[in-house]
């Protein structure tokens, strides 16, 4: 049955639209805390009906009644990817929830193994609402302003699940979203910019990689009518140089939205540039050896989702992002906690002598130089393999059509080599080669350094 014809469902959606989009702003620290406590209690109670959590909690000797406030989260065991695998598919949803009301979502599996979980129809709707919350903070009116959103519409993704299979199939009319243009980030950048140019949006949202490509194309004379006032990025980390590239090329206000497939939106940048945690929706912890880190110190993200009747996400430890919290308050006045910096996935990091770790944000910085220093998108594909603490192999596929164009392949090699050596030192061998083909399977960054004996001392 189509949920959108169900009056109960519609009235609940309307309520979320009217009240919940602005909820975070309307709460203060005290009322937010009360809200979190209650939402958390309810989630744990619900999770106890889900076999995966039921078994884990029982084994750990914790029961729903032991959980009265959000601080009690420490009593609960952390859930791993393995736990999910062991209970998928039937053990990760409550037997009380009807399966046909759920939508299956799969994580991208950039590091090999993907993971499936279930969202409910409210996840579908609210996914868009939380995005509206973010853009509203920046003055975008989602019913009025023309918006182009370049999502990942590969069949398995959260965007496909929630937007295509969820929202659009339910509303069965694109008229409702006539001020919105939905594009696919898996399409060629040249095709995408043609479409965006035709639509001439005021707001442009998409992945960092695609948006950087569009910036270069615009510099080359494509997309004269692509002049958005706002740009929102998702996906990989928006490094400062890439941010500047987007700001300068499009002359737009650029802000980052941070989330994970498992938990939905986690944080976003307000107009002051601070990363605000969606504290009424998620409760992230930042842990180092199981203990909370200090302000501005890197920790491993452990995430808890405070809503939804799909697969509960409580103390989920397998997003694998390294994030530093900021224990300060922002002048914009929004309650809840802040994030200092997002460093990216620790399973896509490289490891060096002296306990030094090069996180994806820094690797992105190095490769980003090709875009903002050399202004080139000649590199179609990159694969990085670290063989040892002192040996990195980089394989690049160069776009044949741009082969004759400047800069030369040697210049590209030299910028990368210099970038790595500045970060990791001259004693590390950087072996860069152009190849015809690379394996597209598995992660693009692989480190063969034995992590079990590696002691992390410093992120570089």
CA-to-CA distance for 320 and 158, rounded, in angstroms? Answer: 18
CA-to-CA distance for 321 and 298, rounded, in angstroms? Answer: 10
Q: What is the DSSP letter of 97?
A: S
* Contact set for Zn ion, span 409-438 (CB under 5 A): none
Q: Is the peptide bond before 108 cis (omega within 30 degrees of 0)?
A: no
List the one residue from 36, 274, 311, 349 that touches Zn ion (CB under 5 A).
274
CA-to-CA distance for 163 and 287, rounded, in angstroms? Answer: 33
- The residue (of 273 and 355) whose beta carbon lies closer to Zn ion is 273
- Closest approach, Cβ 268 to Zn ion, in A, equals 10
- Closest approach, Cβ 334 to Zn ion, in A, equals 5
- Closest approach, Cβ 147 to Zn ion, in A, equals 22
Asked if 417 and 432 touch (Cβ cutoff 8 Å), the reply is yes
List the one residue from 63, 176, 272, 327 that touches Zn ion (CB under 5 A).
272
Q: What is the DSSP letter of 305?
A: B
- The residue (of 341 and 369) whose beta carbon lies closer to Zn ion is 341
- The residue (of 255 and 351) whose beta carbon lies closer to Zn ion is 255
How many degrees, rounded to 5, is the angle at CA 165 between CA 108 and CA 444? 15
The number of angstroms, rounded, from the C-alpha of 4 to the middle of its chain's C-alpha atoms is: 28
- The residue (of 78 and 326) whose beta carbon lies closer to Zn ion is 326
Strands of 147-151's sheet in order across: 180-184, 147-151, 203-207, 230-234, 253-260, 264-269, 275-277, 338-345, 321-326, 299-302, 285-288, 291-292
Span of 20-28, 62-70, 214-222, 271-279 interacting with Zn ion by CB under 5 A: 271-279
Span of 173-181, 221-229, 242-250, 264-272 interacting with Zn ion by CB under 5 A: 264-272
Q: Is residue 270 involved in binding Zn ion (CB under 5 A)?
A: yes
- Closest approach, Cβ 270 to Zn ion, in A, equals 3
Span of 13-21, 136-144, 167-175, 270-278 interacting with Zn ion by CB under 5 A: 270-278
- The residue (of 240 and 333) whose beta carbon lies closer to Zn ion is 333
- The residue (of 270 and 358) whose beta carbon lies closer to Zn ion is 270
User: Which residues are CB-neighbours of 164 under 8 A, at least 6 positions away?
Assistant: 153
The DSSP result for 309-362, as a single string, is SSS--SSB--S-EEEEEE-S--TT---S-EEEEEEEEGGG-EEEGGGEEE-HHH
State the number of binding residues for Zn ion (CB under 5 A).
Answer: 5
- Closest approach, Cβ 48 to Zn ion, in A, equals 36
- The residue (of 289 and 331) whose beta carbon lies closer to Zn ion is 331
* Contact set for Zn ion, span 2-61 (CB under 5 A): none
Q: Which two tokens stand for residue 371?
A: 């875009």
- Closest approach, Cβ 332 to Zn ion, in A, equals 3
- The residue (of 270 and 389) whose beta carbon lies closer to Zn ion is 270
* Contact set for Zn ion, span 328-387 (CB under 5 A): 330, 332
* Residue 235 β-bridge partners: none
Chain contacts with Zn ion (rule: CB under 5 A): 270, 272, 274, 330, 332
């Amino acid at each position: 049955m189509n949920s959108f014809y169900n009056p109960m469902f519609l009235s609940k959606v309307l309520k979320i639209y009217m009240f919940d989009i602005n909820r975070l702003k309307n709460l203060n620290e005290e009322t937010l805390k009360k809200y979190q406590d209650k939402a958390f209690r309810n989630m744990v109670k619900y999770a106890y009906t889900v076999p995966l959590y039921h078994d884990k909690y029982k084994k750990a000797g914790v029961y729903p009644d032991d959980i009265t406030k959000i601080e009690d989260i420490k009593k609960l065991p952390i859930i791993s990817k393995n736990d999910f695998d062991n209970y998928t598919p039937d053990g990760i949803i409550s037997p009380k929830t009807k399966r046909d009301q759920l939508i299956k979502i799969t994580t991208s599996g950039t590091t090999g193994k993907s993971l499936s979980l279930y969202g409910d129809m409210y996840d579908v709707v609210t996914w868009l609402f939380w995005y509206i919350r973010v853009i509203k903070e920046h003055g975008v009116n989602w019913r009025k302003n023309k918006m182009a959103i370049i999502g990942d519409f590969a069949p398995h993704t959260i965007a496909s699940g929630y937007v295509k299979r969820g929202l659009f199939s339910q509303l069965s009319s694109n008229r409702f979203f006539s001020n919105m243009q939905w594009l696919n980030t898996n399409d060629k950048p040249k095709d995408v910019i043609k479409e965006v140019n035709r639509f001439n949006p005021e707001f442009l949202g998409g992945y960092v990689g695609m948006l950087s490509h569009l910036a270069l194309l615009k510099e080359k004379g494509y997309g004269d009518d692509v002049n958005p006032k706002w740009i929102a990025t998702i996906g990989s980390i928006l490094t400062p140089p890439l941010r500047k590239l987007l700001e300068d090329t499009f002359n737009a206000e650029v802000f980052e939205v941070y989330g994970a497939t498992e938990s939905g939106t986690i944080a976003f940048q307000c107009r002051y540039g601070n990363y605000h945690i969606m504290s009424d929706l998620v409760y992230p912890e930042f842990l180092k050896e199981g203990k909370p880190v200090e302000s501005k110190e890197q920790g491993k993200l452990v995430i808890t989702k405070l809503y939804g009747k799909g697969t509960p996400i409580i103390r989920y430890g397998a997003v694998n992002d390294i994030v530093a919290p900021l224990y300060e308050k922002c002048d914009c006045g929004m309650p809840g906690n802040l994030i200092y910096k997002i460093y990216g996935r620790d399973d896509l990091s490289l490891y060096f002598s002296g306990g030094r770790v090069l996180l994806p944000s820094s690797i992105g910085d190095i490769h980003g130089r090709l875009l903002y220093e050399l202004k080139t998108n000649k590199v179609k594909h990159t694969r990085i393999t670290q063989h040892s603490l002192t040996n990195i192999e980089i394989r690049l596929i160069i776009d044949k059509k741009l082969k004759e164009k400047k800069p030369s392949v040697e210049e590209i090699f030299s910028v990368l080599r210099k970038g790595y050596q500045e970060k990791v030192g001259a004693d590390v061998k950087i072996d860069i080669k152009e190849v015809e083909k690379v394996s597209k399977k598995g992660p693009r960054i692989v480190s063969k350094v034995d992590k079990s004996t590696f002691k992390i001392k410093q992120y570089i």
